[in-house]
Structure 1
Amino acid sequence: MKDILISSFDMEIGGVERSLISMLDKFDYKNYNVDLMLYSHTGEFMKFISNDKYHLLPESKYYKTYRMHIASIFKNKQMKIGLARLRARFNSKGNGACQMQYMWKYTLPYIPKLNKKYDVAISYLWPHYFVSEKVDANTKIAWIHTDYSKIETNIDMDLEMWNKFDYIVAVSQECKNAFLSKYHSLEEKIIVMENITSPEFIKKQSLEKIDDFKKEKGLFKLLSVGRFDEAKGFDNAIKALRILHDIGYKNIKWYVIGYGRDEELLKNLIKENNLEDSFILLGKKVNPYPYMKECDLYVQPSRYEGKAVTVTEAQILGKAVMITNYKTANSQLKNGQDGYITDLSIEGIADGIEKLYKDERLRKRLEENCKNNDYTNKSELDKLYKIIEMGM
């Protein structure tokens, strides 16, 4: 049996983490021994991690620092790592993605290697320096989950890291295309493998009872799930709802499940637009599926995505979904068949919601098509097994 390592940051609530859980759930453990390396054993999704199928490696105090505040690192007397983090902040000039790159570059000399050799090592979340520099493996694979053409990085540093991998896995064709528009020299390394979904798990979880999202007569409920940051476009969503209310659709409410660094910004924007009773932040939810099941329309107002896990999850539950026309949107759904793509603008979001609100026949057709689609895609893992068996 071949030894496989899969690594990621932590199990905080997020689409990448959901897709990792699904992949781990469907993995072939009869033929492969799997170790899971999480830099930090934190997050609400830790309860879905099970040593019955695979082996969770012990948490490392060194790798845990990557999601710690610099002050906490110094407080823990990890002085070299703390100084390296300060240097990264200075050299990146505050750019979040670049800061991540420099953080890894400068801290690498002070963090340990794994002492086990693997047949295959998979790095599931960028930046991929742990597997590229600290793991000994015959074959190395890196995952990409987002539109990298939208992320400002140090390209030379990134290419040096990417070139240490034998394969790069993109979660959609458009995600691959966007990546190659920036890193065109890596074309021979890249394959497409969709996020693994588990319809049985999602449908079962959707049966949980909830008290804060019951159907109310006359209300049309929108739902979105995602991090509170610029990529997800919730600031545009707030402004779009203001437009809808101004033209008379005051019975439309928008609920958002999530958390993140832009929470205060969103709360202030909600207040500025007098939408405190209509644009409602529900906070973190380990189980968003009962909310998806009860909403009238699932909306993804993102500026960019790789392939949004939550959109597929809403489709699995037979919901009409609307997404903005981000670069990878056409690989997410079939427009007019199992979802609706609207213009990526505040006005476009408002127009799309108005159309689907007024056109109940279209909405019902999208729902029926979703219910009749088979979103089971366990066979996608065969692409990974093929790579593993080919070796390098």
Structure 2
Amino acid sequence: MKNVLIASFDMEVGGVERSLVSMLENFDYENYNVDLMLYRQQGDFLSFIPSQVNLLKEIKEYKTYRKSIKETFKEGEMLIGISRILAKLNSELKGKMAGIEEPGYIQMQLMWKYALPFLPDFKKEYDVAISYLWPHYFVAHKVKAKKKIGWVHTDYSVIETDIKSDLEMWNQFDYIVAVSDACKEAFLHKYPGLRNKVIVMENICSPEFIIEMANKKIDHTMFKDSRFKIVTVARLSHAKGIDRAVKALKMLVDKGYNDIAWYVVGYGGDEPLIRNLIKENDLEKYFLLVGKQINPYPYINAADLYIQPSRYEGKAVTVGEAQILAKPVIVTNYPTAKSQVSNNVDGYITEQSIEGIVEAIEKLYNYPYLRSNLTEKCKEKNFNNKHLLKDLYKVL
């Protein structure tokens, strides 16, 4: 039996966390002992962790990464708190000097880098240690393992990171797993020297589980809404483009499309901004925020159209889930879109703009046969990819 450590931040509702649950549900526990290290044991997906997984005790220093600077000081972690402040100030300075509008990724890197001396080493040694969510400093620098693997879930061509700092971390890993070919190429464009380490493994999904969950009854006004329903499942963040969705719907309503309702399932830091945008555009009856849902699948199942209006993605878990439920899908043309959707076959890729989103909705709204064609192609496709875990076992 090989001993495997998997590390991640928490089990809050999100695409990465859903993909982690799917991987854990299908893991080979006859040949592997699996320890799961969560920096903070919180989130609605905690209950989905299989019983075969050994959930390790929290370590108070690592819990700070899911807490504010104020909370960190309040709990007596003074040195970590100071390192967090330095990371914030230095990332803002680097952002201004380099003209980076959103230096949040650099701040995340620096807060790990500066805090490393004050974080405890992991005592147990493993055959394999997997870091499932960037930044991977914990597994890179604090865990002893014969082999280390880091996961890449995002499109590195559109995020600003400190390359030197990242390379110091990535060089501690034997393998780097990208969730799509496009994700791999975007990563290698930034870090070409790491090519020999990068492999591709798509997010594991279970169509049976998704279909079962989609058929559960949920009490929500959406299910009584007779209008044409658009659904998006996403974090309320700049990356996911929900602000553009609001503006696109405003354009449609102004054009006379008064029987469209757009439901967004999810939560995030941009919620106040989105709510203000909805109010400013008088869309309270048309653009509706459902909030965080442990089970988003009945909402997707009730949709006439699923849309992912993202500015960038690694590989959107929710798009694949909508296709499993045979929904006509629209995605914006973010750099990795073509790795997930075959345009005009099992989905529709529209140009990366508000006008592009509007044009795509009009087209699929006005021509039901186009929606039907996309649905039929999704029904023909086999989305079960549990066999991909065999590729991971070869690496292990």
Q: What TM-score, normalized to structure 1? A: 0.97
1:4-36 Cα distance to aligned partner (Å, 9 max, x none): 111100001100000000000011111111111
Residue of structure 1 in register with 2:72 after alignment:
73
Deviation of 1:135 after TM superposition, in Å, equals 0.4
Query: d(CA) in 2 for partners of 1:342 and 1:18?
Result: 26
Q: Does 1:17 align with 2:17?
A: yes
The answer to which of 82-91 and 284-293 deviates more is 82-91
**Residue number in structure 2 paired with 1:266:** 274
* Letter matched to residue 43 of structure 1: G
Residue-by-residue CA offset, 1:260-318 (whole Å, 9 max, x unaligned): 11111111111111111101011100000001111100000000001000011111111
The correspondence of residues 63-212 of structure 1 with structure 2, limited to 5 A, is 63-93=62-92, 95-212=103-220
Residue 37 of structure 1 corresponds to 37
Equivalent residue for 2:99? Answer: none
1:312 alignment partner, one of 305, 309, 320: 320
Structure 1 partner of 2:262: 254
Aligned partners of 1:69, 1:48: CA distance in 2, in Å?
A: 26
Residue identity opposite 1:15 in structure 2: G
The secondary structure found in structure 2 opposite 1:149 is: coil
Provide runs of 4+ in structure 1 moved above 3 Å: none
Indicate if the aligned counterparts of 1:215 and 1:294 stay in contact, CA closer than 8 A: no
SS in 2 for 1:23: helix
Of stretches 239-248 and 93-102 in structure 1, the one that deviates more from structure 2 is 93-102
Alignment of 1:321-360 (within 5 A): 321-360=329-368
**Residues in 2 aligned to 1:356 and 1:178: alpha-carbon distance in whole angstroms:** 31
Report the AA paired with residue 337 of structure 2: A
CA–CA distance in structure 2, aligned partners of residues 61 and 201 of structure 1: 34
Equivalent position of 2:98 in the other structure: none
Tell me what 2:303 maps to: 295
Q: Do the aligned partners of 1:324 and 1:343 also contact (CA within 8 Å) in 2?
A: yes
Secondary structure at 1:150 match in 2: coil
SS at match of 1:62: helix
What displacement does 1:91 show? 1.1
Deviation at 1:182, TM superposition (A): 1.0
Where structure 1 has 5 or more consecutive residues not aligned to the other structure, the ranges are: none
Number of residue-to-residue matches in the alignment? 386
Alpha-carbon contact 2:25-2:49 (below 8 Å) kept: no
Q: Which consecutive residues of structure 2, in runs of 5 or more, have no partner in the other structure?
A: 96-102
Q: Answer whether contact 1:258 1:285 (CA < 8 A) is retained.
A: yes
One-letter code aligned to 1:181: H
What is the Cα deviation at residue 215 of structure 1? Answer: 4.5
Aligned amino acid, residue 225 of structure 2? E
Residues 198-237 of structure 1 aligned to structure 2 (within 5 Å): 198-212=206-220, 213-217=222-226, 219-237=227-245
> Which SS does the other structure have where 2:79 is aligned?
helix
Give the Cα–Cα distance (whole angstroms) in 2 for the partners of residues 315 and 44 of structure 1: 24
In 1, the alpha carbon distance for the partners of 2:105 and 2:361 equals: 33
Identical amino acids, percent of aligned pairs: 61
RMSD, matched Cα: 0.9
Question: Could you tell me which amino acid in structure 2 is paired with residue 32 of structure 1?
Answer: Y
The aligned amino acid for 1:149 is S
Residue 139 of structure 1: CA displacement? 0.6
Aligned 8 A contact 1:125 1:143 in 2: yes
State the TM-score, normalizing by the size of structure 2: 0.96
Offset at 1:369?
A: 1.4
1:374 alignment partner, one of 369, 375, 382? 382
**CA deviations over 1:20-72 (Å, ceiling 9, x no partner):** 0000001111111111110000011111123x211111111111000101111
